[in-house]
Structure 1
Amino acid sequence: MPSGTPTLADDVRTLLNLPLSTALDVADDGTVLFGTNTDGTSQLWESFPDGSQQQLTDFASAATGRYLPGSRKLIVSSDLDGNEHHQLYLLDPDLEQLPVTGLAPLIDDPAHIYQLVALDAHSLVYSTNRRNDVDFDLIRRDADTGAETVLWSGGGLFRQASASPDGRFLVANELSLQPASTVLRLLDVVAGQWAEITAADRPGGYGDSYWTADSSGFFASHDAETDFASLGFFRVADRSWHRIVEEPGVNVSLALDGTGRRALISRLADGKTTLSVCDVGTQTGLPVLGPESPVLFAEEGYARGMLSADGGRLALTFSAPTFPDEVFSADLPDAVGVAPIRPVQRTAAPGREIAARLPRARTVRIPARDGEQIPVFVTDGDASAVLSIHGGPESASLYQWLPRNASMVLAGHTVVVPNVRGSSGYGRRWISMDDVELRLESVKDLVDIHAWLVAEGIDGSRVALYGGSYGGYMVLAGMTFHPEYWAAGVDIVGMSSLVTFMENTSAYRRAYREREYGSLAGHRQVLEDASPLPRIKNLAKPLMVIHGANDPRVPLSEAEQVVAAVRANGSECELLVYPDEGHGLSRRKNQLDAYPRAIEFLRRTLG
């Protein structure tokens, strides 16, 4: 090879070095708050309307944040080395020497978790497990005085909350004990009373809630009554739900501006999104969505965004399998619903041309053994293949940029990104098809994908499994329950035993993991029967295991016990442990160490 010619390892490092940028908020003047990992961990930056940029934070660990409405002050959230004990900070860019390397936390309590769930111009609402380490309470804190009010101390784990514009009500979104479900609680601030406005014993997942301008009710997408998520409206006066938008095979959601009069509508189907903007009116006591202006992009992909408080600006993140995550924005006209919206790109990673040269992924439905259809994204390569399996399991692979998958494509493999049964985004029926006793049905989907690959011309002896978190469990399960199909596996922060995982995961997570996998008290044998570790003698092919030492979700012990067992069998097993990481690798230096080694491992084992 001529001197200076890039090697595969060089190109993989180039891909992994591409910074990813994510829109977090947008001010009324068009300033965009975004996160980017340009310097190795994701930190906060601002992009101003004139195109200039400014770094706000340079914390030791990743940071995220949101503006206080109507202000340049922002609430910053960060943990320590992936331990997920997030602390909250107030940053005023006009008073600090930027970028800040540290701030005094609003509450100095690193032993517990503080998660921002709602924010307005005068106060923030956060959830914290400081009372007993397990249950999360809701606390409102005055942004100026620091005075705290306990809103809820009845236990649970909260996703989001939203206050009505008139200050009378607060709706909170809490995980329920039904699989892939949440429950909504409504607080009457004046009366000081909470009401459960959705049934905790009924399956149904509710998205973020947004109040209309007149405080008469709020929008929330949900699948409690439809297979795919429809857009509903809850009217406070008579405690009634009304379906506003339902589209077969499409998950519809909405985000409002701070006035409650303008909406950003998102439609998700097959891992791809389309966005549009419309105005919100009222008719016969219910909200009415006006004509929509589509948000246009040059290609299909996945986008998520937000509106400024006054509804005049749009900021969003766009990503596709050959387009690394970048921030876009648009100035919105006074009247939407007439012309398309063409956002302007606000960030651009240097060297991203290598991503554009990769082959495009195609969407395929693979027939399963029982007549079901498994949705997958396939990027064609040589006669070897890697199945890249998402975590969750109540999650999904989207039609977006994933540098690890791109690296495997660059290495020449055919890369298959499946949404096996149990994945979200394909209807409540599909997400429920791996619950508790059905756990191994999702593992059998991998075998069906293998059969399809062989029929497509792939060498069946050159197929590997690759996955993180629940995807790591799927790697180990595939290689122990169906070992004859797989040539190698890469397990990243995966569970090797569902029993020991449940016993050792963080206490505040256990109940919500049991709703999906089964409980230690009631389903111990089910958990044992679905665990790879008792069948580890079946795992005779090369295995690589990658884990963070501070993982609060899947403890390091899950990796250590499977590595010890595989090595005791005399099989090849490499373990990479990173002391400054938690559930996955967030630091560029660790990614650049682990992932190129994983690519070389796959090239060697698959030929």
Structure 2
Amino acid sequence: MRRLAKALGTSAIILALAACTPAEQSASTDPAGEAAATAVAQYDAATFHETTSFGMASGGGHAFSATDGRILISSDETGVFNAYAVDPATGEREQLTTSETNATFALSWFPEDDRILVTADGGGDELSHIYLREEDGRLVDLTPGENLRAMFLGWSPDGTDMWVATNQRDAASFDIYEIDTVAFEAGVVFQNDDSLQIGSVSPDGRWLSLVRNRTSADSDILLLDLSAPGATPQLITEHEGNIAYGDYTFTPESDALVYATNEHGEFNQAWTYDLATGDTAPLIEADWDVSFVSYSPSGRYRVHGINADASTEVTILDRETGEALPLPDLPAGELRSVRFSRDEGQIAFLINSSTSPSNLHMVDLTEQMQSQLTNALNPAISQDEMVEASVVRFESFDGLEIPGIMYRPHNASADNPVPALVWVHGGPGGQSRVGYSATIQHLVNHGFAVYAANNRGSSGYGKTFFHMDDRRHGEEDLRDIVAAGHYLRSLDWVADDQVGVIGGSYGGYITAAALAFHPEEFEVGINIFGVTNWVRTLESIPPWWESFREALYDEMGDPAVDGERHRAISPLFHTENIVRPMLVVQGANDPRVLQVESDEIVEAVRANGVPVEYVLFPDEGHGFRRRANRITASEAYLTFLEEYLRTSGAAE
């Protein structure tokens, strides 16, 4: 499992949005070949982004209230994320928090009453605290302090204590605390002196799993018996060579750890480790990675997801019968965030597709009745006007097959070729996946094709593919993106003199690197909070990344000894090569890619006399959580592309 994807991965820069300015264009539905044209209206960014984003409460807490069965969710319907309670019978939502600035996300109902836990940081600085929301609406910071980060882990077996992890003692290490629900006094459960990555706590509160990330290809799991005073974490994955291990969860009976391993093939499988005997056994094997494993409150049902070619296939298994739980007919799309009611008579979940943002659904398992409780899509636009995503592969410069997600505008045809963009994900080990993107749909609605390439080094396609870019970033992975541009130019419905590149975080780096090291390959580039100086970035990583610093340096190189290579692949030191227009977008509070990264490359490229646009958000971090800022960013992308990409062929 790639921990680096959590470190530099593109945050949710593509979320949801309403206001339209109709214009007519023709449409095509086949992403690669010919298709009939139809007419569609054209809309502004607000129409797409004023779609509402919904998210379920944290997997470690209670999604259904104990008193009336209401469902706890997060929603940005006000423009800023807040916590809401949803009536499962009517879909009516009650707003529980009222932040107008910082995004506030729901974590859990309390075990026996209508208090809730939420989390929020300071304008995207990632220093998240955990807050108690009293039934009268008052918020209390349960993890006070400066420059600390807190995470909710779950509840004690009897529900009288909550488990949290914070780095308040040492910025580089997350210790575990038990906070009682009466006086809210905290006691140390585990002092993490070795800066290990926190895994899971068993349902009976006895066992703690921890992960040591040795390199990007090699990791270990350790177990700590919390019931034994003075006990130390014990290694349970003794092995030779490079094998990656990770934590999923404990079994409901607290008799086994369910863990991830790629020891037995290309993909992560789910195995169990018997806590009494140490025996291991396969649990879930597939030809793709097992993404997650979880259980219902009583343990009767097991839920797992398979990352099948950039889409998640979810199975809900009845452990009593050994059969998959039958569900009524559901709308097309991907199930996400499955949560059981406390009596297991109902399940709530999200359904997301490339043409529809996530909506909250509920199924009554007794009656086999399903209901949709939200309507996320802005009524000013319909699903029919969206573009279906398709998985498309091409051969890269060396013959390696590269997968990606294609969004073909309705008006694209051989008679009407359109400009196109190669979209680069973050990570570097991230993955572009099928799903709704307001930003992409807005661009495609305005006649720009988007191809989200999963270059070598992307997760989801096996460990060999995943490690092809280790210590070679900015080399073959960048050439894959250049080859993706060549592939787009080969399509008869793409204007071969109007192809650009766009990406966020590591994808922003690749965008800037493409302009610096392959200056004639793309007509334009959009760099969204991308690394431009690897020397500084790797020296200034946030302290809370300590648990996977060694793995990060193993993959990217240690700045103490690999500084020369880091300078060689950093666009900032080669800006004299950049001759094509660039748009840079940055959050001032970004702790991962500092604002100075964007400031300096903008100044340097402008010195070349090259057009450079710069959008800086003072209230955002690594990803844009405020709807107004997402709208501004999307409109900036479109304005830039209309001026510098759509007209580039004609100008030449």
What TM-score results when the alignment is normalised by the length of structure 2?
0.84
One-letter amino acid of the counterpart of residue 332, structure 2? E
Between the aligned partners of 1:160 and 1:585, the Cα distance in structure 2 is 28
Q: Judge conservation of contact 2:52–2:75 (CA < 8 Å) in 1.
A: yes
Provide the secondary structure at the position in 2 that maps to 1:483. coil
Provide the secondary structure at the position in 2 that maps to 1:141. strand
**Match 2:486 to one of 448, 451, 473:** 451
**Match 1:478 to one of 514, 536, 552:** 514
One-letter amino acid of the counterpart of residue 131, structure 1? R
Q: How does 1:204-603 map to 2 (within 5 A)?
A: 204-213=244-253, 215-251=254-290, 253-280=292-319, 289-293=322-326, 296-301=329-334, 303-333=336-366, 343-349=370-376, 351-352=378-379, 353-381=381-409, 382=412, 383-457=418-492, 458-509=494-545, 511=549, 513-603=552-642
- In angstroms, what is the RMSD of aligned CA positions? 2.5
Provide the secondary structure at the position in 1 that maps to 2:200. strand
2:650 maps to: none
Deviation at 1:212, TM superposition (A): 2.7
Bigger drift between 565-574 and 130-139 goes to 130-139
Between the aligned partners of 1:34 and 1:276, the Cα distance in structure 2 is 22
1:284 maps to: none
Q: Judge conservation of contact 1:255–1:306 (CA < 8 Å) in 2.
A: no
Deviation at 1:565, TM superposition (A): 1.0
1:48 maps to: 87
Q: Judge conservation of contact 2:198–2:209 (CA < 8 Å) in 1.
A: no
Q: Judge conservation of contact 1:138–1:151 (CA < 8 Å) in 2.
A: yes
Describe the shift of the 1:468–1:484 C-alpha distance in structure 2 as closer, same or farther (beyond 3 A).
Answer: same
Q: Judge conservation of contact 1:26–1:314 (CA < 8 Å) in 2.
A: no
Deviation at 1:33, TM superposition (A): 1.0
Between the aligned partners of 2:422 and 2:120, the Cα distance in structure 1 is 33
Describe the shift of the 1:424–1:205 C-alpha distance in structure 2 as closer, same or farther (beyond 3 A).
Answer: farther
Q: Judge conservation of contact 1:141–1:149 (CA < 8 Å) in 2.
A: no
Between the aligned partners of 1:268 and 1:233, the Cα distance in structure 2 is 20
One-letter amino acid of the counterpart of residue 215, structure 2? Q
One-letter amino acid of the counterpart of residue 338, structure 2? G
Deviation at 1:131, TM superposition (A): 1.9
Deviations 1:462-485 (A, max 9, x none): 111111111111111111121211
1:177 matched to 2:217: no
Provide the secondary structure at the position in 1 that maps to 2:602. helix
1:96 maps to: 136
Deviation at 1:23, TM superposition (A): 1.8
Describe the shift of the 1:162–1:168 C-alpha distance in structure 2 as closer, same or farther (beyond 3 A).
Answer: closer
Between the aligned partners of 2:123 and 2:291, the Cα distance in structure 1 is 35
Between the aligned partners of 1:489 and 1:277, the Cα distance in structure 2 is 43
2:22 maps to: 6
Deviation at 1:122, TM superposition (A): 2.4
Q: Judge conservation of contact 1:467–1:492 (CA < 8 Å) in 2.
A: yes
Describe the shift of the 1:222–1:42 C-alpha distance in structure 2 as closer, same or farther (beyond 3 A).
Answer: farther
Deviations 1:359-387 (A, max 9, x none): 21211111122332111111113431011
Describe the shift of the 1:433–1:591 C-alpha distance in structure 2 as closer, same or farther (beyond 3 A).
Answer: same
Q: Judge conservation of contact 2:87–2:93 (CA < 8 Å) in 1.
A: yes
Count residues with an aligned counterpart.
583
**Match 1:67 to one of 75, 93, 109:** 109
2:7 maps to: none
Deviation at 1:349, TM superposition (A): 2.5
What TM-score results when the alignment is normalised by the length of structure 1?
0.90
One-letter amino acid of the counterpart of residue 204, structure 1? A
2:49 maps to: 16
Deviation at 1:119, TM superposition (A): 2.9
Between the aligned partners of 1:483 and 1:578, the Cα distance in structure 2 is 28
Deviations 1:234-290 (A, max 9, x none): 110122321112112353532102222211222220111222222225xxxxxx944
Deviations 1:312-369 (A, max 9, x none): 33222221111112222222249xxxxxx66422111252534441221211111122
Deviations 1:84-141 (A, max 9, x none): 111111223xx314xx5xx221132132111123334222222222223222222232
One-letter amino acid of the counterpart of residue 363, structure 1? V
Q: Judge conservation of contact 2:490–2:496 (CA < 8 Å) in 1.
A: no
Q: Judge conservation of contact 2:215–2:552 (CA < 8 Å) in 1.
A: no
Q: How does 1:101-180 map to 2 (within 5 A)?
A: 103-120=139-156, 121-145=159-183, 146-156=185-195, 158=197, 160-165=199-204, 167-172=205-210, 174=211, 176-179=213-216
Between the aligned partners of 2:81 and 2:633, the Cα distance in structure 1 is 18
Provide the secondary structure at the position in 2 that maps to 1:131. strand
Between the aligned partners of 2:364 and 2:191, the Cα distance in structure 1 is 39
One-letter amino acid of the counterpart of residue 68, structure 1? F
Describe the shift of the 1:452–1:23 C-alpha distance in structure 2 as closer, same or farther (beyond 3 A).
Answer: same
Provide the secondary structure at the position in 2 that maps to 1:462. strand
Provide the secondary structure at the position in 2 that maps to 1:39. coil
Ranges in structure 1 where 5+ consecutive residues have no aligned partner: 282-287, 335-340
Deviations 1:504-530 (A, max 9, x none): 332333625324311112322232222
Higher relative contact order (CA 8 A, sep 6+): 2
Between the aligned partners of 1:119 and 1:181, the Cα distance in structure 2 is 31
Q: Judge conservation of contact 1:212–1:218 (CA < 8 Å) in 2.
A: no
Describe the shift of the 1:138–1:515 C-alpha distance in structure 2 as closer, same or farther (beyond 3 A).
Answer: farther
Between the aligned partners of 2:327 and 2:395, the Cα distance in structure 1 is 34
Provide the secondary structure at the position in 1 that maps to 2:634. helix
Q: Judge conservation of contact 1:566–1:573 (CA < 8 Å) in 2.
A: yes
Ranges in structure 2 where 5+ consecutive residues have no aligned partner: 1-19, 24-40, 413-417, 647-652
Bigger drift between 298-307 and 322-331 goes to 298-307
Describe the shift of the 1:54–1:508 C-alpha distance in structure 2 as closer, same or farther (beyond 3 A).
Answer: same
Provide the secondary structure at the position in 2 that maps to 1:557. helix
One-letter amino acid of the counterpart of residue 406, structure 2? V
Describe the shift of the 1:439–1:108 C-alpha distance in structure 2 as closer, same or farther (beyond 3 A).
Answer: same
Between the aligned partners of 2:337 and 2:384, the Cα distance in structure 1 is 21
Residue identity over aligned pairs, in percent, reads: 26
Provide the secondary structure at the position in 2 that maps to 1:314. strand
2:70 maps to: 31
Provide the secondary structure at the position in 2 that maps to 1:478. helix
Between the aligned partners of 1:473 and 1:180, the Cα distance in structure 2 is 23
One-letter amino acid of the counterpart of residue 185, structure 1? L
Deviations 1:176-222 (A, max 9, x none): 13216654332212213221223598441524313232x21132344
Bigger drift between 245-254 and 107-116 goes to 245-254
Describe the shift of the 1:216–1:590 C-alpha distance in structure 2 as closer, same or farther (beyond 3 A).
Answer: same
Between the aligned partners of 2:476 and 2:634, the Cα distance in structure 1 is 29
Describe the shift of the 1:132–1:253 C-alpha distance in structure 2 as closer, same or farther (beyond 3 A).
Answer: closer
Q: Judge conservation of contact 1:180–1:394 (CA < 8 Å) in 2.
A: no
Provide the secondary structure at the position in 2 that maps to 1:90. strand
Q: Judge conservation of contact 1:268–1:425 (CA < 8 Å) in 2.
A: yes
Q: Judge conservation of contact 1:69–1:309 (CA < 8 Å) in 2.
A: no
Between the aligned partners of 1:315 and 1:175, the Cα distance in structure 2 is 34
Provide the secondary structure at the position in 2 that maps to 1:88. strand
